[in-house]
């Protein structure tokens, strides 16, 4: 496995729409493995392929340690509720924002073996589904944030009103 470079805000690739995966190959599986290693090394809970420079509809998520979700061509098939919460991104380091997302999301995607799966999530997992799928369409959370939070010297975050 290899640790990949995570693209940062301002890179044109992050604003492009990804193409669907038409065939799951050994290269696809290697990318999934490398993305997981990269995400873990960066202390993230989700990573989308465009964040590592690959314009394919591929996402890895690990909200709970050891519970890895590998999503190929994911699509949200149901969403309900609404909750605002703090969101950050490996491609937008040093900032967080308050973003309104559905509180429940159901997603359909292929797994690494090409089998269609359905996943459901609430709270952080629902937020991750939305955040990572947004990446596949060239959207960053900063496009949807109601306000931003910035790091303070004590490790806490403050907003523009503090």
Give helix then strand counts, H and E, for the chain.
2, 9
Number of residues that this document lists for the chain = 162
DSSP state of 63: S
Distance of CA 14 to the CA centre of its chain: 12
Residue 132, classed as helix, strand or coil, is helix
75 catalytic residue (yes or no): no
Q: How far is C-alpha 117 from the chain's CA centre?
A: 18
Q: From the candidates 132, 153, 156, 161, which is the catalytic residue?
A: 132
Q: Are 51 and 133 in contact (CB under 8 A)?
A: no
- With DSSP H G I counted as helix, E B as strand and the rest as coil, what are the percentages for the chain, rounded to 5? 25, 35, 40
Stretch (H or E) spanning 34: helix 26-41
Can you tell me which residue has the tokens 């098939």?
77
Please list the active-site residues. Answer: 132
């Amino acid at each position: 496995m290899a640790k990949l470079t995570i693209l940062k805000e301002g890179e044109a690739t992050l604003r492009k729409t990804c193409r669907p995966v038409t065939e799951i190959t050994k290269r696809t599986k290697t990318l999934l493995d490398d993305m997981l290693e990269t995400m873990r090394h960066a202390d993230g809970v989700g990573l989308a392929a465009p964040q590592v420079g690959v314009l394919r509809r591929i996402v890895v998520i690990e909200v709970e340690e050891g519970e890895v979700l590998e999503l190929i061509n994911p699509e949200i098939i149901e969403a309900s509720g609404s909750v605002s919460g703090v969101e950050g991104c490996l491609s937008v380091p040093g900032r967080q924002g308050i973003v309104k997302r559905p509180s429940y999301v159901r997603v359909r995607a292929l797994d690494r073996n090409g089998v269609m799966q359905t996943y459901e999530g609430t709270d952080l997992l629902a937020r991750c589904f939305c955040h990572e799928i947004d990446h596949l369409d060239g959207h960053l959370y900063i496009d949807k944030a109601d306000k931003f939070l910035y790091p303070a010297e004590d490790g806490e975050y403050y907003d523009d009103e503090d």
